[in-house]
């Protein structure tokens, strides 16, 4: 009995798609423990991307203020 798997191109395309969905909308789609992982992943990626640029402290501060406001409204 032979098990058929997805072709590698299809598998990798689906993996990339699911990864992007997880990062972009995971905190809205998935239940609580997984949504926290998604939010943390997105925040860490954002910090690393913004860390590449030297003049991003003001952008970072604005984003942190926005996140604090969102968290306060959610509670």
More confident site: 42 or 50: 42
Encoded tokens for 74: 């959610």
pLDDT score at 20: 93
pLDDT bucket at 54, cuts 50 / 70 / 90 = low
Interatomic CA distance for residues 32 and 11, integer angstroms: 27
Condensed to tens digits (0 to 9), the pLDDT of residues 4-43 reads 777 888 889 999 999 999 989 888 888 889 989 999 999 9
Banded pLDDT at 52 (limits 50, 70, 90): confident
Specify whether the CB–CB gap between 46 and 63 falls below 8 A. yes
User: Which DSSP helix (H) or strand (E) runs through 38?
Assistant: helix 32-52
């Amino acid at each position: 009995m032979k098990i058929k798997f997805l072709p590698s191109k299809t598998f990798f395309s689906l993996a990339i798609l699911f990864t992007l969905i997880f990062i972009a909308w995971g905190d809205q789609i998935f239940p609580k423990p997984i949504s926290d992982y998604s939010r943390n992943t997105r925040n860490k990626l954002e910090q690393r991307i913004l860390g590449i640029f030297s003049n991003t402290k003001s952008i970072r501060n604005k984003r942190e203020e926005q996140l604090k406001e969102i968290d306060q409204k959610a509670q």
